[in-house]
């Protein structure tokens, strides 16, 4: 464009026009740049937006990691698996990615014909991101479905708990629910002690969890459970339970309580037994009972240890002891003057009361606290109960408590105390896990002196040779078992029943070099035959003997019939 300034003047607009055009181009370029930058901004923004979208990968409220999270294998003390994880493929679909629903349904039903076509079609159509089609498939079925090549179908490996022993160790292991969370037993304990956190952050994957070793010996566990089931049928009993401890370490070698359940089917936990609900609980840790005359071991051990009573002391058991209207008398009445070993051997209630009275009822109460009967059990199993022992003993409660009535503790409390009494008087808190020698040393606690421990062992063996443990000893000949029976009448409607008993046998073996302590309980047993009795020696005692006879060879205890051992164990002075 020219700008005319005069008629003869030459146009001087050339540079101006070029500049004008140049300006225009620059402006256009600027617009284009602005436009392009704008477009790129939009594209970039969209990319950022897409990147920021959090894909919801959770499946029915659980992350994929949680579903495939595994639990550590549980081994017994010999390395035999008690619980393992199996990896099972589960088929799921993403309906929004399925192109031809009818085709997919048809193909899928060639492999899984039991799926309903209509149900499958409704599952596969729609805009859902995730639906389960079928869970717990076998690898072969997985392969065949994979070969079909249907888009939108995929597999997720789920961890499933499998207990190869079935119900063998049910009360120790507990079980897991469908979400692989522990419900009861050691499984629940493991969740509480950090496994649940590991799983939620995804660290518990595949085979990378170290197996957990328990103190249980599955062979002993099996024998114990078999014998208890036998006892259940043999005595038409309500229930039976037993626990065996390694006295030196406090490790539980076997623990069984029948009726029990199958951990592979957690619903069996609450299934009624013989029409009665709440029967399948762990009677060893979660049941408290009046353990009857087995308490005489506690009474005598405490009294001897205090020095107030000596083995040679004699007690008048000619007459019952009167408390107001009540008279306490003996079941196997001797009605004469008895020495301490005789009180134990004949299980004299009157004798036990006199021993306790000579010692002092407050001392007796304090001794119960000392042997840990007040405290809850230090065992890992979540199913446990606390004892019932009055804070302060009145004369009559102290008297009944001296032979195990009017106070309740769990059978495991009794087993741990018996273990301590024969382990040179040193207590080890019971555990389900393996325990190292250092831990054993750190946890050791003295209950009674070595001398008293020796005397208690003498009494226990004496009772097996001449007292209420003879039926037991006949079964376990040669294994130097000793123990005390306890026959308690069950409380029914607030009073003691004369027909329903609760029988206990607390034992240890081999008594010349004690290694194991055991408590067996039989709830409401009946006579085996017309020639047998129904007191504890006949059922709980016999069961103890049969268990020992079976497991002693497994535990490396050789039978010894030498009379010299018994002569040394039970000196003639106390016979």
> Sign of the CA dihedral 310, 419, 410, 523?
negative
> What number of helices (H) and strands (E) belong to the chain?
20, 16
Report if residue 477 touches other proteins, rule: CB under 8 A: yes
Which residues make beta-bridge pairs with 337? Answer: 316
Q: What is the DSSP letter of 191?
A: I
- Please choose, out of 82-90, 191-199, 282-290, 502-510, the segment that lies near other proteins by the rule CB under 8 A: 82-90
How far is the C-alpha of 406 from the C-alpha of 401, rounded, in Å? 6
Shortest CB 80 distance to other proteins, Å? 6
Q: Which is nearer to other proteins, 170 or 397 (CB)?
A: 170
User: 17, 202, 390, 559: which one contacts other proteins (CB under 8 A)?
Assistant: 559
Shortest CB 359 distance to other proteins, Å? 39
CB atoms < 10 A from the CB of 398, how many? 24
Report if residue 17 touches other proteins, rule: CB under 8 A: no
CB atoms < 10 A from the CB of 116, how many? 10
User: 550, 555, 569, 570: which one contacts other proteins (CB under 8 A)?
Assistant: 550
User: 222, 361, 405, 484: which one contacts other proteins (CB under 8 A)?
Assistant: 222
Residue matched to tokens 């936990």: 269
Report if residue 393 touches other proteins, rule: CB under 8 A: no
User: 64, 81, 308, 500: which one contacts other proteins (CB under 8 A)?
Assistant: 81
Q: Which is nearer to other proteins, 106 or 566 (CB)?
A: 566
Q: Which is nearer to other proteins, 414 or 549 (CB)?
A: 549
Shortest CB 9 distance to other proteins, Å? 41
Task: Report residue 502 as tokens.
Answer: 């609760």
Shortest CB 438 distance to other proteins, Å? 30
Report if residue 535 touches other proteins, rule: CB under 8 A: no
User: 17, 164, 376, 571: which one contacts other proteins (CB under 8 A)?
Assistant: 164
What are the distances in angstroms from CA 324 to CA 105, 310, 357, 425? Answer: 84, 29, 17, 37
Shortest CB 97 distance to other proteins, Å? 16
Shortest CB 475 distance to other proteins, Å? 10
Is the CB of residue 430 less than 8 Å from the CB of residue 377?
Answer: yes
Shortest CB 87 distance to other proteins, Å? 4
User: 77, 94, 131, 142: which one contacts other proteins (CB under 8 A)?
Assistant: 142
Is the CB of residue 393 less than 8 Å from the CB of residue 356?
Answer: no
- The values of phi and psi at residue 39, to 5°, are -60, -45
Q: Which is nearer to other proteins, 402 or 543 (CB)?
A: 543
How far is the C-alpha of 350 from the C-alpha of 326, rounded, in Å? 13
- Please choose, out of 189-197, 245-253, 312-320, 552-560, the segment that lies near other proteins by the rule CB under 8 A: 552-560
Residue matched to tokens 């808190």: 429
User: 549, 555, 569, 570: which one contacts other proteins (CB under 8 A)?
Assistant: 549
Q: Which is nearer to other proteins, 342 or 473 (CB)?
A: 473
Report if residue 151 touches other proteins, rule: CB under 8 A: no
Q: Which is nearer to other proteins, 146 or 433 (CB)?
A: 146
Report if residue 139 touches other proteins, rule: CB under 8 A: yes
- Please choose, out of 113-121, 141-149, 190-198, 358-366, the segment that lies near other proteins by the rule CB under 8 A: 141-149
How far is the C-alpha of 35 from the C-alpha of 29, rounded, in Å? 10
How far is the C-alpha of 96 from the C-alpha of 488, rounded, in Å? 68
Exposure string for 77-106, b = 16+ CB within 10 A, e = fewer: beeeebbbbeebbbbbbebeebeebeebbe
**What mask of x and - would describe binding to other proteins in positions 276 to 305, judged by CB under 8 A?**
------------------------------
Report if residue 376 touches other proteins, rule: CB under 8 A: no
Q: Which is nearer to other proteins, 165 or 185 (CB)?
A: 165
Report if residue 165 touches other proteins, rule: CB under 8 A: yes
Spatial CB neighbours of 421, under 8 Å, sequence gap ≥ 6: 297, 301, 447, 448, 452, 453, 456, 508
Shortest CB 164 distance to other proteins, Å? 4
In the region spanning residues 27 to 46, those forming contacts with other proteins, defined by CB under 8 A, are none
Q: What is the DSSP letter of 11?
A: P
Q: Whats the size of the chain, residue-wise?
A: 575
How far is the C-alpha of 291 from the C-alpha of 21, rounded, in Å? 112
**Nearest alpha carbon to residue 120 among 158, 85, 91:** 91
Shortest CB 558 distance to other proteins, Å? 6
Q: Which is nearer to other proteins, 153 or 389 (CB)?
A: 153
Q: Which is nearer to other proteins, 212 or 377 (CB)?
A: 212
> Which bin fits 197, alpha (ψ -120 to 50), beta or left (φ > 0)?
alpha
**Nearest alpha carbon to residue 464 among 403, 553, 516, 537:** 537
Q: Which is nearer to other proteins, 166 or 192 (CB)?
A: 166
In what helix (H) or strand (E) does residue 162 lie, and over which residues does it extend? strand 153-162
Q: Which is nearer to other proteins, 165 or 287 (CB)?
A: 165
Task: Report residue 106 as tokens.
Answer: 């048809």
Report if residue 351 touches other proteins, rule: CB under 8 A: no
User: 5, 207, 358, 497: which one contacts other proteins (CB under 8 A)?
Assistant: 207
How far is the C-alpha of 1 from the C-alpha of 15, rounded, in Å? 10
* Strand-pair category, 337-339 with 131-134: unpaired
User: 16, 129, 166, 533: which one contacts other proteins (CB under 8 A)?
Assistant: 166
Judged by CB under 8 A, the number of residues near other proteins is: 37
Chain mean position to CA 377: 13
**Nearest alpha carbon to residue 312 among 569, 571, 508:** 571
- Please choose, out of 7-15, 36-44, 352-360, 472-480, the segment that lies near other proteins by the rule CB under 8 A: 472-480
How far is the C-alpha of 364 from the C-alpha of 373, rounded, in Å? 12
In the region spanning residues 83 to 102, those forming contacts with other proteins, defined by CB under 8 A, are 84-89
Task: Report residue 121 as tokens.
Answer: 């079609």
Report if residue 311 touches other proteins, rule: CB under 8 A: no
Binding site for other proteins (CB under 8 A): 80-81, 84-89, 139, 142-143, 146, 157, 162, 164-166, 168, 206-207, 218-219, 221-223, 225-226, 476-479, 549-550, 553, 558-559, 561
């Amino acid at each position: 464009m020219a700008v005319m300034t005069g008629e003869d003047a030459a146009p001087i607009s050339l540079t101006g026009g070029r500049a004008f055009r140049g300006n225009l181009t620059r402006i256009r370029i600027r617009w284009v740049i602005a436009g392009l930058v704008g477009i790129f901004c939009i594209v970039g923004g969209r990319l950022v937006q897409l990147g920021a979208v959090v894909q919801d990968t959770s499946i029915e409220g659980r992350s994929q990691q949680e579903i495939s999270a595994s639990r550590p294998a549980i081994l017994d003390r010999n390395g035999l698996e008690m619980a393992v994880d199996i990896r099972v493929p589960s088929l799921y679909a993403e309906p929004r990615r399925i192109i031809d629903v009818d085709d997919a349904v048809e193909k899928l039903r060639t492999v899984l014909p039991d799926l309903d076509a209509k149900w499958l079609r409704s599952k596969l159509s729609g805009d859902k991101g995730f639906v389960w089609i079928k869970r717990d498939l076998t690898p072969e079925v997985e392969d065949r479905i994979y070969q079909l090549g249907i888009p939108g179908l995929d597999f997720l490996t789920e961890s499933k708990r499998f207990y190869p022993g079935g119900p063998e160790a049910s009360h120790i292991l507990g079980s897991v629910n469908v979400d692989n969370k522990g419900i009861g037993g050691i499984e629940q304990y493991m969740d509480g002690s950090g496994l649940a956190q590991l799983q939620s952050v995804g660290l518990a994957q595949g085979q990378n969890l170290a197996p957990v070793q328990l103190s249980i010996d599955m062979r002993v566990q099996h024998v114990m459970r078999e014998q208890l089931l036998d006892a259940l049928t043999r005595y038409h009993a309500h229930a039976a339970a037993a626990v065996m401890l390694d006295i030196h370490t406090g490790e539980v070698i076997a623990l069984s309580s029948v009726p029990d359940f199958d951990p592979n089917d957690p619903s069996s936990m609450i299934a009624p037994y013989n029409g009665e609900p709440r029967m399948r609980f762990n009677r060893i840790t979660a049941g408290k009972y009046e353990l009857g005359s087995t308490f005489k071991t506690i009474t005598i051990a405490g009294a001897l240890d205090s020095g107030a009573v000596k083995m040679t002391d004699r007690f008048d058991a000619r007459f019952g002891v009167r408390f107001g209207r009540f008279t306490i008398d003996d079941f196997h009445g001797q009605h004469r003057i008895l020495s301490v070993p005789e009180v134990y051997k004949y299980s004299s209630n009157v004798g036990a009361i006199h021993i306790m009275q000579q010692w002092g009822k407050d001392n007796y109460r304090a001794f119960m606290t000392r042997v840990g009967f007040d405290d809850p059990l230090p065992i890992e199993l979540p199913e446990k109960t606390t004892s019932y022992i009055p804070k302060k003993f009145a004369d009559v409660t102290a008297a009944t408590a001296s032979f195990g009535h009017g106070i309740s503790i769990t059978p495991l409390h009794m087993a741990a105390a018996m273990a301590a009494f024969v382990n040179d008087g040193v207590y080890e808190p019971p555990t389900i896990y393996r325990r190292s020698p250092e831990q054993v040393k750190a946890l050791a606690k003295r209950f009674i002196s070595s001398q008293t421990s020796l005397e208690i062992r003498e009494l226990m063996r004496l009772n097996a040779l001449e007292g209420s443990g003879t039926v037991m000893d006949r079964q376990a000949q040669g294994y130097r078992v000793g123990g005390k029976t306890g026959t308690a009448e069950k409380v029914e409607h607030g009073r003691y029943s004369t027909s329903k008993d609760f029988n206990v046998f607390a034992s240890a073996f081999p008594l010349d070099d004690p290694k194991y302590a055991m408590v067996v309980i039989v709830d409401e047993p009946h006579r085996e035959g017309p020639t047998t009795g129904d007191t504890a020696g006949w059922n709980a005692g016999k069961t103890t003997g049969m268990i020992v006879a079976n497991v002693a060879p497994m535990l490396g205890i050789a039978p010894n019939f030498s009379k010299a051992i018994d002569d040394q164990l039970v000196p003639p002075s106390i016979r």
